Each structure stands twice: as structure tokens, then as C-alpha cells.
Structure 1
Amino acid sequence: MWHNLVKKQWMALTCAVLLLAGLQAEWCLAAHPVTQEKGPAILLVTFGTSVESAQAAFRTIEQRVKAAFPKAEVRWAYTSKIIRKKLEKSGTRIDSPEMALARLMDDGYTKVAVQSLHMIPGIEFHELCDNARLFGQMDGGFSKVMVGWPLLVSDTAMDKVLKEILTRVVPKERKADEAVVLMGHGTHHPSDAVYSAMMYKAQKTDPNVYVGTVEGSPSFEEIKEQLVQKKIKKAYLVPLMTVAGDHAKNDMAGDEPDSWKSQLTKAGIEAVPVMKGLAEYDAIADMWVEQLKVTIAHLQ
């Protein structure tokens, strides 16, 4: 029943998401002529994190990007105002995407590739596209500015990410009768359908692999109910996120009663968190780099 329901929801909702994303893609590139070209510069944009251990994912991304584009100017921006303010109090200043674009414009760059490091094309990605488009329309500013897609934007990308998680991220000692639960963030945007699509694909690959979300669908309650019904005794919890930040540390693996780990433990299921973000793995980080290569090519 769940399998058929998810399949129908996935097909309908994914069509809607891809339609919206396709329309939005027209806004991700803005251009007008300038007399002298400088760039392209690369702006890496993510939600951000204040968890020090999670920064390893960003370091991996930056290393892979600089290896692919050794002569390019590479800068960072966080979309989360809360994270930026928190880091500023500890002496670390990170720009918002808008401020970072303004600085690049002020520094004379005329071509900019903005690479989204988000998981799905949700609200933050579409806002990023809108604002990049507006920067590209300013007289005397950028000649071209283009936003690269997030990670999970195609059937092929979802299949590849799922394969990498099951072969590289999930511990080798995991047994066939033990569950793997991937934690996505979830969103009120139509792109939340991506998580249902990932759940559908996960179940087709391995009936003991699940995808849940903190704030969307499928919910953790749905996943927990299925684990209990199947009498699962052990489950590996894996962040379906760029970094193993606050959500992974607290909502997934925390000791509070409402964390996924605590709720599974209460249900008699041993929970084993895997505290690494997906961008810490070279093969997955390189998927964002490949998106960036396409974006750079369109700027030439």
C-alpha cells in the first residue's frame, strides 16, 4: 500500500516540481553587455552551519572546486541569517548571497557562477535565482550571472546519490535485516516531493532503507511505525544533508526525548547515527562540481 501510494504521489508531485524548476531555470541566467570582462568568479552558496565538525563538508567542496578551477576566485555565502549572526559573535563573518554578489560586483567581476550547495530546488534555491537575476540586470554590473542546480534535481542524480550512500556512507557491518534511515530536512515548497521520490527509490533498492524528513514528508512517525511493524532491531541513521550540522547532531542523534535516536531506542530499536554530511564524500561532492562545470560553460 505504502509503495503504491508513494509511487503515485512521487509521479504527480515530481512532475509539478520539475515544471516549476524548469520555469525557474529561465531566471537563473541574467546577462547584459559590458565593455571589459573579468571572471568568472565562483560563489558557493549553502544554508550554512555553526557546528565546527560539520565544516569538513565545506572544506571538501572547496578543495574539489579549486582543483577543478585553479584560477578562479572562490567565495562563500550562507543563506541562513541565524547561522551568520551566530558565527559573527564568535568572530567569523560570512556574507549573505546578496552581500557576496555585491562585493564581487564592487571588485569588478563581470561573470559569476553561483553554485547552490542545497539538496533540493526549494525555497532558498528559488530565492537565490531571483536575486541573482536582479543583480544580473543592474546597469554597469555583471555581464552574466548564472545559478547552478542543487544536488537532487534529476532521476539520475537521485539514483547516484542513493547508490553512493549505500556503498560508501552506510557502515560495511550493516546486515540485510537492519534498517537504514536517511534524514532529509523537508520543506513546505513543492520540491518536498523529492524526498518521497527518494523514499520510493530507496524501497525499490532495499526494502529496509527509508527516507524521512524533519519538517516535510515522509515524516519520521511514518518511518518509525514501519520499522516497528517489521520488527526491526537495529537502524543506522544517516543525514541526507550537505553537512552533519545542527539537525543531524540534535534532531537525529541527540539525547533529547524527541530525537530520532531517542524515539527509536524507546521503541526497542538500536539506533546508530552516522555523523558525516554527504559533501564530505568526494564522489558526492563531485556531483556539485559537475553542476558547476555546466554553469561555467554557459558563462563563456
Structure 2
Amino acid sequence: MKTGRHCPVGGKEKINVNRKAWKTTVYGSPGAVIRSNMIGGKYMNETKSGHEIKKDARTAILLVASSTTRDGAKKILENCVDAFKNAYPNSVVRYAIASELVRQVMAKEGNIVSSPVGALAKLIDEGFTKMIVQPLYITPGDGLHVLYSTVSTFNEFSGKHVSFGIDGILIGKPLLMNTEDYWSAADAITAYFGMPAENEATVLVSPIDEGGADPSLCQLQLMMDEKTGGRIVIGTSCGYPGADWVLQRLKHINARKVTLAPLTLIPGKHTDYELDGSGPDSWKNKLEAAGYTVSVSSKILGESPQIAALFIQSVADTGKSHGFL
């Protein structure tokens, strides 16, 4: 067997082994050459010492949410995990929380939840080589860019030639990304909240800063207009379109009765204050001051089977594009 030349790498010797047979570059010392190959459907590293490092051939799916410390948030995430487990029974499904503040509060309550970095590292340590990260985000804002950067960094270590030995980590889409996603989201939202009656409107309020993704809300509004005749209205507490624009829209469509609901998968405690708080700046008080009869819906998008189906499809599209599912 042709072994090529030896050169020191990180204190070890780099050995090029018959690439046609093994299609890999391996690292080790002259006394213990490590080789990678597919054995019995699972990746397995073999050493001359007889030790074996088994790799898990299943695909791991990691759901990532910003989440919140409010009551019921954990249950919503666990229900999402269950939905993905039912959709992908041959995969391992877990979740991580992106918000450091939320993780710290949960830790003080005795509930330790991994960050995306920690969760991915744990999956790699457990021997998974194929991973799909699915953000449970609505818009492609800052949160998605941070997560994408994390996944890209891990992928620097992918391939048989490096220390991690993973095939790679894929990342799915948020709810809103491509044109067809907006149409699908508009259908799902309308199906979940229902079509408002004449002289009524549903106002969906994003309670968070979308991190530069405000135009996504505007595009969603255009799609909703075609689906509902403008009776489902999109607003945000931290950007555009704000409350003043929403009031103009409600006047334009001659609405008299308004139902408020959060445009987020898992509403935080601050969402209650912004939508239904006692202060004059709450959405409910602003709309009532303008003469509308206002109620607040108990529906949460994170509990919508229609929305869950779109995220599940995102994983399917992402995984099949690279042979991970």
C-alpha cells in the first residue's frame, strides 16, 4: 500500500493512505493508524490496537428556539419535539435555546437546557455525523444569522479528513424565506386563526425586534391581503409596521371589532404587557382609545399544527437535498 509522505500535524503525523480504497486522509502515530470506513451501515473508526469508535448513522435533528421563561413554554417546545419525532421516527430529535438570558433563568430554576453550540457539540461527542438544525423562527433576522454562523463554524470541521469526522450540519429555513414560504405561511395562519367576519379584523403583533427583517412582515402582509382581503393585519412593537400603520389599516377596512394575537411561536412574558398591559402604550389600550372593541386571543402559533407542518417540511427539504433523510 502506498502511504505517501509523513509530515507533523499538531504533534502527530499525517499519513495519506491509498485514497482510492479509503477516500480519506487519516491522522495518527506510526503505531496506531486510524482509518474511516462504512461498516454495517454505521461509520466506524478502526485502530491497530483493536479499539473501535462507533459512529451513529442516524440523522440528528436539532430544533432551536429563542424561547421564554413564561409558564407553558417548555411544554410547547416538547410538543414540537414530539411532532418531529412522529414525522422522523428514524432520527434523533432534540432542542436548544438560543437566548442566554432565558437559559440562565431556567438554570436557576434547576432546568438546564443547552445552547445551540452545546447541543451540537454533545451530538458530535455522542457519535452523530449527520445533523440538521431547524430554527423555530418566523423571519430571517439576526437570530437566524447568528445560528447560521454557528453552523458554518462547526462545518469547518466536517469531512473525513478532520478531527470531528462528521459528514456535515445542515440548517433549515425559518417560516418566512422564499416566496412560496410566504404563501404557505399565509395559508397556515389563516387556517389557524380563521377568517375574520365582516367589520372585524385579527391583528397579529410581533413583540420582538426582528433584527433587520421588518420587510418580511411587510411581504407577509401583502400575501395575507390576497388571502383575507386585508382582514388579518400584521404589526410589530419594535419597528415597522407599527401601531399607527395598523390603525390606518383598520380604518381603511372599516373594522369595528379587533382580535389581538402575538406573531411569535412562543410568546414571552413581555408579550402580555405589550398586547394586554394596563399601560397606555399597550396595543389593546391604543386600539380601544381609537374606538375599537378589542379582545386578545389565547391562540399561540407554536401550538398550530399547520405551522408545525411547515417546519417539518423544511427539515424534509433540507435533509433530502443532501441525502441526510
Please give the TM-score of this superposition, normalised by the length of structure 1. Answer: 0.81
Deviation (angstroms), 1:199: 1.6
CA distance in 1, matches of 2:183, 2:147: 26
| Alpha-carbon distance between aligned partners in 1 of 2:128 and 2:100, rounded to the nearest angstrom | 25
Instruction: Report the equivalent of 1:69.
Output: 88
Larger RCO, structure (CA 8 Å, separation 6 or more): 1
Q: Which has the larger share of strand?
A: 2
2:223 pairs, out of 191, 201, 215, with: 201
Partner of 1:234: 257
AA at the equivalent of 2:109: S
Q: Rg bigger for which structure?
A: 2
Aligned to 2:65: 46
Per the alignment, residue 188 of structure 2 pairs with 164
Aligned-residue offset at 1:296: 2.3
Alignment of 1:1-300 (within 5 A): 35=37, 36=43, 37-38=55-56, 39-138=58-157, 139-141=162-164, 142-170=166-194, 174-185=196-207, 187=209, 189-204=211-226, 205-228=228-251, 232-297=255-320, 298-300=322-324
CA distance in 2, matches of 1:257, 1:90: 33
Q: Is the 2:205–2:263 Cα contact (8 Å) retained in structure 1?
A: yes
Q: Percent same amino acid at aligned positions?
A: 27
Aligned residue pairs total 267
The amino acid of 1:200's aligned partner reads L
Tell me the SS of whatever aligns to 1:118.
coil
Q: Cα–Cα, structure 1 residues 155 and 53, in superposed 2: closer, same or farther, change >3 Å?
A: same
Q: What is the root-mean-square deviation of aligned Cα atoms in Å?
A: 2.3
- Offset at 1:49? 1.5
TM-score normalised by the chain length of structure 2: 0.75
Between structures 1 and 2, the one with greater helix share: 1
Mark the runs of 5 or more structure 1 residues left unpaired by the alignment.
Answer: 1-31
Q: What secondary structure sits across from 1:217 in the alignment?
A: coil
- The CA deviation at 1:115 is 0.7
1:273, distance to aligned residue in structure 2 (A): 1.2
Deviation at 1:114, TM superposition (A): 0.6
In structure 2, the partner of 1:6 is none
Relative to structure 1, the CA distance from residue 57 to residue 159 in structure 2 (aligned partners, 3 Å threshold; closer, same or farther) is: farther
Preserved contact between residue 139 and residue 176 of structure 2 (Cα < 8 Å): yes
Measured in 1, the distance between the counterparts of 2:88 and 2:223 equals 34
